[in-house]
Every structure is written in C-alpha cells, then in structure tokens.
Structure 1
Amino acid sequence: METTYSAEELAAMPDRIAATFSNRSVFVTGGTGFMGKVLVEKLLRKCPDIKQILLLVRQKKGKTPRQRMEDTLNDPLFEKLRTMRGGVQPLLDKMTLISGDASEPDLGLSPADRQRILEETDIIIHAAATIRFDEELKKAVMLNVRGTKLVVQLAKECKHLKLMIHISTAYCHLHEKLLEEKPYPPPADPHQIIQSMEWMDEATVAAVTPMLLQKLPNSYAFTKALGEALVVEAMNEIPAVVLRPSIVIPIWQEPIPGWTDNINGPTGLLIGAGKGVIRSMYCKSNSYADYLPVDVFINGIMICAWEFIENHVKNVNIVNFTSSAEIKVTWSEMIDAGREIIMNRVPLNGVAWYPGGSMKHSRLYHNICMVLFHWLPAMLVDCLLFVLGYKPVLCRVQRRINKGFEVFEYYTNNQWDFQSDIAQTLRKDLNPRERQEYKVDAIGLDISRYFEDCILAARRYILKETDDTIPAARRHMKVMWCVDVMFRLCFWALMLYWLSGWVTPLFSSTATPTPEPIPT
C-alpha cells in the first residue's frame, strides 16, 4: 500500500529535478510548437532559479520573434504562470529570444547569436520538427534531418554543454514490430540525403520520393529516423540522449487538463465524429495505438536531464516514452467514450449530423458508407449553400478528411509494441514529491474523465465555443437525434420499397399466367 504524505511533508522533500536546471541556460528549438510551449511553461513554473531559456524563434507572418513570444505567453496555457510571476514581462526576462530557423542553413543564426549560444548553453533540447505526415520530402529533410545535423554541430562547439536531448518518435522505425530502447540502422545515409536534397529541385525530389521512402508510409517516419541516426552517430563526441515519445496528445493534469493547440490525433477524430462529419472509418476496432499526454512526456524530459547530469547515468541514451505497457485503449473504446461524452456531457455547437457511425473491418463496406454518408450529404449541402449564395465548404472538408484517413488507416490497421524498461526504471529514483510533481505513471488516470477534459478544452480553445452555449448545444443535439431517426426510417423504407420491386416480380413469375384471349 502506498504511503500518503501531507502537503507539508511533501514540501519538505527536495526537488532535485528543478535543482538540475538551477542557474543553468537551456537552449530550446521548437519552443513555439505544441510540445515546446508545454516545455517552456513547465521550466519557468517549476524552475524559478533557471538562469535563462535561449529560445530559437523564427519570424512568421510579419511578426518578430518577440511579438510571437508575447502572443504565446498570453495563451491560456500560461495563465497560471502569469499569475504566479506577475505578468508576461517577468517571463520574458527569463528568456533570450534568438532569431533563427531550424530549416535554414546554419539555423539562420547571426554570428553574434551563434557565439552567445556557444558561450552560455548548458543544456540543449532539440524539439523543432515538422510533424506533417504529408509534408514534401525536401521540406521535411531540411528541418528534421539537416536541422538536427546543424544542432548537433552546434552542440559539439558548446563550451559548457552538459547534455543534448533530441526528441525523436516511437514511430520512426516502423519495420520493427517491437521497438527496443536501442539504436536502429537508418533507412538511408542521412548525410547523402541532405546533400542530394540541397541541389535537387522540388520536381526531381517528388519523382524520387517513392524510391527513397520504399516501404515507409510517409516523409515524417523517414526523416525522423534519419535525424535520430545523426544524434546516435555523435554520442561518442557529446553527451546526448534520444527520447522517443509515442503519439503525443493533450495535457492530462497541469496546468490545464485537456489543453492542446491542434486537432491532430484522437482529438481531431473525436471532434470530427462529434460534429457529425465523420461517419465511417476503416479500422481494426480491437487494435490500439500508443498515446502519451504531453505533460507526462515533458516531465520525462526533465527527469532524464536530472538522471544524466546529476546521477551520471550514462546508459540512458535512448529512452522510449510510451504508455501501452501500463494501459491500452482500443479504438472502439476511445470512440465509444468520445461519443457518450459528446452526446450527453459536452456537446459541440453546429453539429451537422447526430454523432454516430462506426468502424468498418471491410474496405468495401467502408467505401460504400463513405459514398452514402460522407460524399452524398456533403454534395447536397454544398449545392444548397451555393443556391442560397454561400460558399460551399463540406466537399472541401471531406477531401481533408479523406487525406487524413490515408494516414490514419496505416497506423490503425498495423500494430506495434514498445519496450519501455528505462523509462519505468527512472521512476524508482524519484522521491514522493518528485513523483507527484513530475508524474510519469498512469496511477489515477480516469480515461473517461481525460477524454471529457480533452473535448471541453478543444471546445474552448480551438473551436472557440464558450461554456454558456452548452445548453443550446444540448437542445440542438436532441433535434439532430430526431432528424437522424427520421432519416434512418426513410432510408430503410426506401430500401424495402426498392427491394420489393425485385421481390414481387420474382414471386409473381411462379404463378400460372393468364391466357390471352383468342382473337376472333
């Protein structure tokens, strides 16, 4: 039985993980992405004595790095931190914003900024990457492979480097049905791939992409495997760790349960089904994917840094951060839980159709359902919108859904398992306070409550639907239920009528035909 500690007893215990970052400078790439935002928030909230965060930020949409960071710090994710520290400015004071781009030569750094990184950096956390599965190969190579090579070169020149952490993915060696915590040969020579992509134009790259990818389904898996290989190659020269998270999903516990800034992964699936635009999926419903809440992975990053730097655990070089060894949620369980939450607890606004549909094990059956319940309604609604003078949208939405299904089906109809011995062993070194404040286990996880938090957060922060609209959404859901029942009754009535047109002549043909009158 686990011992229970009071708040005073926990506060008296040391926080050795926060102490690891005390008076140290951390260089972070990808700090404005989904994972990077949660990392920056956790470092600033849990490590008040951190010397500085050197943050690589590129100019985007006419905004300077400082303007982009101010926008980020005003996000609801940082509300708790802003309250603790007294606003945005004290947070900016802990940051050194460096203008650059991980996809550009030399990371787009000025000589002065590069020298500053070399002089001041103690820890590097390289999280910048494109996570688009359909990204053009050249763009993916420039960011995921060449960008990693340039960060490794930077790490080799840092004068006070204690550790470089590279964020890979558990889904980059897809030919391995059991991914162990060890390096694997890359699918190609990363140095040659970088060189070839630098001189080839987009048309040539597009032509050779199928040959390069071979059996890999997309550019993401290919380039992440190459980037990981570059870090493994440099481990003899620099202190480096490769972390492989599985599918990173919204926050579980802190600072905002369910928070995310995108609709990738299961969140998008639940929203699409909840809005009524996803009615059929080709999927093995009893299979499962490996998911990892982003706050759990960020805790894992900080724990690994502590183990490597302070405890000198040198065999912690490649760590799989996965969850399926402790908890498995099948696709059907996830969809059923999401459907119940959206129908009864957290309905969405503007539902196009009552949430329903199912997962199909037959490709033919799925394709028929796609035509009947995806494409035909979309075309009918778009025609109506066009007649009324509005811009048609549903067919465009269905094309995006189909594109997403191409990726979705590969991962849902294949199964992988992951070894996570090192990640589970690391927990044993934590004291009770650290186990609570840097949670990396599934103890206390309520799947239904977690999905409810995800849907509610997506409703608030992505769909911009306020909580005061929930009662109206419930009423609308009841109306859509009635419409759905009427549609089903009409559909089956038409089917029976159509079948009777075939069945009646079949039976009538067995009767004795009436003789024609003899002409006089």
Structure 2
Amino acid sequence: MPCCELHPRVMTPEDEQRELEELPADWWPPGVLDRRSRVAAFYDGAAVFLTGATGFVGSLVLEKLLRSCPRVSTVYVLVRDKKGVPLRERLRSHLDKVVFSKAREACPDYLRKVVAVAGDCTQPGLGISPADAAELTSRVSVVFHVAATVRFDADLRTATVTNVGSTCEVVALAKRMPNLKAFVYMSTAYSHAPRDEIDEKFYAPALKAEELLKLISVMNDEQLAQILSLLMGDWPNTYTFTKAIAEDLIRSEAVGLPASIIRPSIVLSTYQEPLALWVGNMYGPTAAGAGSSVGLLHAMHMDRSALVDCVPADMVANATLACAWDTWCRHSSQTPTQRATAEPVIYNYVSTPRHPLSYDLLCRYAQKGTDYPSIRNLWVVYVVLLKEKYLYVIAAVVLHLIPAIIVDSFLYLKGMKPILWNMYSKIHMVSQALEPFWTKEWTFKDDNVASLLVRLGEADRKLFHFDIADYDWEWHLSLLVLHYTLLAVGSAVLLLVLWRILAAHIGL
C-alpha cells in the first residue's frame, strides 16, 4: 500500500504479474492477451503458407493471424496472377477491404509481412515458380490449405482439379519443408454426407484420388457428365464428393507429418470479429437468407424438426489457428516411431453436439429480424417450410412462379426488362442444391474439438474464441436477417437511382 499520495507504491514486474493474474481475461489491457496466449506464441517468428486467402474463410484466417499473432514473421499467400494487374496490387487491394481495418491498425507493417506468391490451385505444382517453391520449402513452418471451389453446382472436372488436385500438390510441397510444425487442411463436416453419423475419423471414399484424377484426364466433359451420378452415388454434390476424396488423400499421403483436418459445418457470417455480420459471398444459405429477408423467398423444402448445423465464420478461423497449435502439440509429444505411422487428426467443428438448433427455432429467431421491415421490401416477409416435396413444388409455383409471370408480363408491357423470373430461377437453383442439407439430420461427434477447448488457457479461449456453447443464436440470426434486409434494399435503391440517372442522361 502507498504511505501517502506523494509516495505511491512502486510495483515490481512480479507485483504487476501477480495483480494481472488475479484479474479476469476480459480486463486485461491490449497486448497482454497475445503475450499470454500459447496459441499466439506458436506463431512467433513463424512463416506461414496460406491458400485461399482471398476467399471468405481464408480472408478471416489471414486477418486473425495479422491482428492476434503480431510476432508472426511472414504470411505467404497464394494469389492468381491476373493480366494487367500486378500481383502486389491485387494483394494490396484485397488487404484494403474493410474486413482488414482492425488488422491494419494492429499490424502497421502488414504489407511487409504478407507476401504474395504467384500461383493457381488448378495448375500442376500450384503454378508456383521454382524460386518461390524453394523459398517456401526452406522457410515455412505452418501450412493452411483453405482454397477450394465451394459451389455445389460445379462440374466434376472443376471440383476435382481444385479440391483434389490442389490438395495433392500442397501435401507434396509440405513434405519438402524441413521446418514443418503443422499442416491444416480445411474440409467440410458434410464430406461424408451419405452417412448418418459422422465421427472425427476417416471413412473410405467412393474413389481414390489417383483414380479420379486419371479419370478426368482421359474423359471429356460430356463423358464425365454421363457417368456423374454413377460415380457420386449418394453424395449430394461434387463439392462434398471431392472433399471426401481429398480427405482420403491426406490420410494416405500425410502420414508421419504434423497434419490435421478441420471440418466446419455450414459457415455463417461472422459473429463478433473483426466485424459482426461480415460475409464474403452471397451464395448458399447466405443467398437464401437475403432472398427471404426482402420478401422474395416464400417457400422452402425443409424439415422443421431437423437440427441444423451451422457455425460463424470468425469462430471457424479461430478454431483453425488453434488446431495448428494443437496439431504440433500432439505431434511433438509422440515418439519418432509413433510419428512415422500416426494418421492426421480430424476436428469436426460443428454445433449440434454442444449447442443444437432446429430449423424451426432458426426460423423463429430469424423472424425477429423482420419485426421492423423496410417499406421498400419487395413483398411481405414470410416463409413457409414444407417437408413434403410435392407440397413444396405446389407452393413454389403459387408463391414464386405465378407472381413472377404476372410481374414480368407487366414490366414487358411497360417496355421494361423482366427480372423476377430470372431471380426465382436462381433462387430455386440454390434451394435445390441445399435441399439435401435442409431435409436430413446428421449426428456429429466433436471429441477432439472438445478436448482442444479443455487444453486452452484463459488467454487462448479469449483471444481465439471458438466455443460454440457461447454462441448466441437468437442475437446473431435476428441481426443477420435485419442486416440482409438493409443490404438488399439499399442495393435496390442504389440501382434504381443509377438507372434513373442513366435514363435521364440518354433521354429514355
């Protein structure tokens, strides 16, 4: 205690440390969390290689590395070369996006730390030059392979080359890295969708990677299309099909490496960081949410009672970075003999085991986001969920197609471009792609994720927050719908203003 105001107590570093440890992590001052985090310390001085850095989840992994791992040495990101645009400028433009605003503040020298590597996941050797490959193999100690084509309607050749071929090339590159501490491959919780129960283990795919790669090399697109259903069997789309094959490739080719696979389920927008409700694309469930929030989507083929499994994107990024640390901890604790035969570890990052949510409750939470709808909504906001396919078809015709014909006919007669039929065609295409996930329920096991959470310290749990049990479904989903409504309505108003300006300019 100080003896008076003129003689305050002089605290030693040990005193400061003791007082700090007595405070909850929420009260720790800036900079203390990363210094006390074992996960952040894992990246001290590390050179990281990241694919998919310009995609949705990949952007968040890169952002989190820069913001919360300030002592990371270098982050090499694979960037496709684009004619007329220098590689460095493409990277700078990406890092100038609003999602990186906090990372730029936390890491002022981000342009020095992030190094663009010219390449392409669809090319042999990832399209990387020999000089760049030599630099990567000599320096990199952590690899994240996040790049993938996530489109459910991608043709088999595109999905195979991107999801399987690139994985083969990244593993081959990782094998040449003498300093490798962790290799993390991002898959999906639905890679083995034909199964009802999915544990954190490997399952045999329909084909081996080398068989599928050879098949697409000797057959043209028309031939592949003819045998597609025979090849995929019960897999719902080429995305999950090729992810299952890529996982098997990891199992066989990454034995002995400090390797792991993270399987997130349906990825939603960010929950809290770096910006709440940020989303990198308008495809899949994001597009469906946007369509329903502005009164465009009114019927969905969905089982109300089934559990939906979805996770926020920022928690996926946090879990991915923590998995790399855990992968190294597991690997380094083994004997050389054990390492030589150890299979990669699988982490199912899912919500149903620890924080379940039904589609019925999801829709009720989402409905709260429409309590204050905009007067510029396209129609009254409501959605009918129908489990039976024939009832959904009838509802889609009555609530979507017939209104589209009426509105587009009116627009045509007024000399304007019909738009509603095309919009509903796209919506139905997305709905059909998501139908297998909206009408079926899976049982997931997440023991490895649960044990990882137990091993994390207080600073790690705070800095790399991914405990799905803490996720507030009601808050996130209601705000998410409201956000989509404002975004869609604002875009429509902007387009209308631009159209009127253009029409006045050209005298229409």
Higher mean Cα deviation, 188-197 or 326-335? 326-335
Query: Which residue is 1:210 aligned to?
Result: 229
Amino acid at match of 1:49: R
Query: Which residue is 1:328 aligned to?
Result: 356
**2:340 is equivalent to residue 340 of structure 1:** no
Number of equivalences: 461
The 3 A distance-change label for structure 1 pair 8 and 243 is: closer
Query: Which residue is 2:452 aligned to?
Result: 426
Distance (Å, rounded) in 1 between the aligned partners of 2:104 and 2:229: 48
State which of 185, 188, 196 in structure 2 corresponds to 1:166: 185
What is the deviation of 1:266? 3.5
For 1:244-255, list aligned pairs within 5 A: 244-255=263-274
CA contact (8 A) 2:302 2:385 kept: yes
Question: Which string of whole-angstrom CA distances, capped at 9 and with x for unpartnered residues, describes residues 279-316 of structure 1?
Answer: 11121111122111111121111212222224635677
Distance (Å, rounded) in 1 between the aligned partners of 2:306 and 2:415: 45
CA contact (8 A) 2:60 2:314 kept: yes
Work out the percentage of aligned pairs sharing the same amino acid.
29
Distance (Å, rounded) in 2 between the aligned partners of 1:362 and 1:143: 35
Query: Which residue is 1:438 aligned to?
Result: 464
**2:58 is equivalent to residue 36 of structure 1:** yes
State which of 34, 38, 59 in structure 2 corresponds to 1:16: 38
State which of 64, 79, 86 in structure 2 corresponds to 1:57: 79
Distance (Å, rounded) in 2 between the aligned partners of 1:189 and 1:377: 47
CA contact (8 A) 1:258 1:455 kept: no
State which of 319, 324, 329 in structure 1 corresponds to 2:347: 319
TM-score normalised by length of structure 2? 0.86
Query: Which residue is 2:210 aligned to?
Result: 191
Query: Which residue is 1:407 aligned to?
Result: 433
Which 5+ residue runs of structure 2 have no aligned equivalent? 1-22, 335-341, 495-508
Amino acid at match of 1:420: D
Query: Which residue is 1:491 aligned to?
Result: none
Structure index of larger Rg: 1
State which of 391, 404, 420 in structure 2 corresponds to 1:365: 391
**2:298 is equivalent to residue 279 of structure 1:** yes
CA contact (8 A) 2:369 2:482 kept: no
CA contact (8 A) 1:274 1:348 kept: no
Amino acid at match of 1:18: A
State which of 299, 303, 306 in structure 1 corresponds to 2:322: 303
For 1:62-77, list aligned pairs within 5 A: 63-77=85-99
Which 5+ residue runs of structure 1 have no aligned equivalent? 470-520
Query: Which residue is 2:337 aligned to?
Result: none
Distance (Å, rounded) in 2 between the aligned partners of 1:217 and 1:171: 10
Distance (Å, rounded) in 2 between the aligned partners of 1:358 and 1:309: 48
Query: What is the SS of the residue equivalent to 1:263?
Result: coil
What is the deviation of 1:5? 4.9
Amino acid at match of 1:330: S
Distance (Å, rounded) in 2 between the aligned partners of 1:348 and 1:25: 48
Query: Which residue is 1:132 aligned to?
Result: 151
TM-score normalised by length of structure 1? 0.84
CA contact (8 A) 1:123 1:162 kept: yes
What is the deviation of 1:265? 4.2
Query: What is the SS of the residue equivalent to 1:241?
Result: strand
Query: Which residue is 1:144 aligned to?
Result: 163
Question: Which string of whole-angstrom CA distances, capped at 9 and with x for unpartnered residues, describes residues 39-79 of structure 1?
Answer: 00000001111110010011347544323222221211111
Amino acid at match of 1:383: S
CA contact (8 A) 1:26 1:122 kept: yes
Amino acid at match of 2:100: F
CA contact (8 A) 1:259 1:454 kept: no
- For the aligned residue pairs, the C-alpha RMSD in angstroms reads 2.4
Distance (Å, rounded) in 1 between the aligned partners of 2:374 and 2:153: 29
